[in-house]
Amino acid sequence: MNIFLALFLLGLIQGLTEFLPVSSSGHLVLFSKIFGVEESLFLSILLHIATLLSIVVVFHKDIWQLIRHPFSKQSIQIVVATIPTCIIVLCLMPLIKQSFMGGFLPFCFVLSAALLLASELLSKRAAKGAFGTKTAFFMGVMQGFAVFPGISRSGSTISAGLVCGSNKQEVAKFSFLMSIPIILLSLLMEIYEIATGALRVDIPILPTMLSFVTAFLVGIFAIKLMIRLTVKSNLKWFSLYLVIIAIVSLFLS
């Protein structure tokens, strides 16, 4: 496949799937194999930066408030969520890098499906309450394990928040905001490895730029869609989709 078309489609896939509970990194690994593109952790992080900019556009008012009030309740909750994520990622980094080869995809997709289905059932029984530090911490733990391709970051964190009994819309917004420091830290880590020669990056510049812009623009649409779906829709349909994509990845892995 033409490299421009392949990377354009990967950008489109990243933008659509980053904010839906289906694992954007898992889809990038899977469709990179289908398109014949060599997938890398660096490319995945670069496209996540594109969708991070989508978050900045959609939630610019919330982010500005966080900057103006660094010790606000929500700022502290984001820090609380980030700490367990960083610890888990650092401990599992060798396994995470290996997972981008695609061998874990079927298992991780099925695990995501199970998480969504379980959260849909358990959240209906959970006592409803205000969004608190405990919920933020639990969402941070789930975000740490969601670094593996195939485990949905938004799906696992939103599931954690719903199981804790928090409001759906509030959980969805926090899930997007809490991804900002992790994506930035991942980028800094990759830049450090490139600067020290530990990582060699060989990607075509113009097709990658096209992929980046596509992911950014589509991501803006996907965020707004996901907030509506979280409030109004049943997550079990995403669970069914993940089972189907798990079967597809099983034959391609």
pLDDT value of residue 47: 85
- How does pLDDT run along the chain (253 residues), one tens digit per residue? 677 888 889 889 988 888 788 888 889 888 888 888 765 667 777 888 898 899 899 889 999 999 999 899 999 999 999 999 999 999 998 888 888 777 889 999 999 999 888 887 877 776 677 788 999 999 999 999 998 989 999 889 988 998 888 888 888 889 989 999 988 888 788 777 767 766 666 677 888 889 899 999 999 988 888 777 766 667 778 899 999 999 998 887 6
pLDDT value of residue 216: 93
Q: What's the pTM?
A: 0.85
Task: Give residue 233's region: left, alpha or beta (phi > 0; psi -120 to 50).
Answer: beta
Radius of gyration of the chain (CA): 17
Q: Token match 């401990």: residue?
A: 91
pLDDT value of residue 213: 93
What is the DSSP annotation of 126-158? SPP----HHHHHHHHHHHHHTTSTTS-HHHHHH
Domain locations along the chain = 3-252
Kind and range of the H or E element at 253? none
User: Do 15 and 225 touch, CB atoms closer than 8 A?
Assistant: no
Of residues 58, 30, 52, 28, the one with CA closest to residue 42: 28
pLDDT value of residue 106: 92
pLDDT value of residue 181: 92
pLDDT value of residue 155: 87
pLDDT value of residue 64: 93
The two three-digit tokens of residue 174, written as one number: 């926090």
Q: How far is CA 167 from CA 67, 133, 170, 173, in A?
A: 24, 14, 5, 10
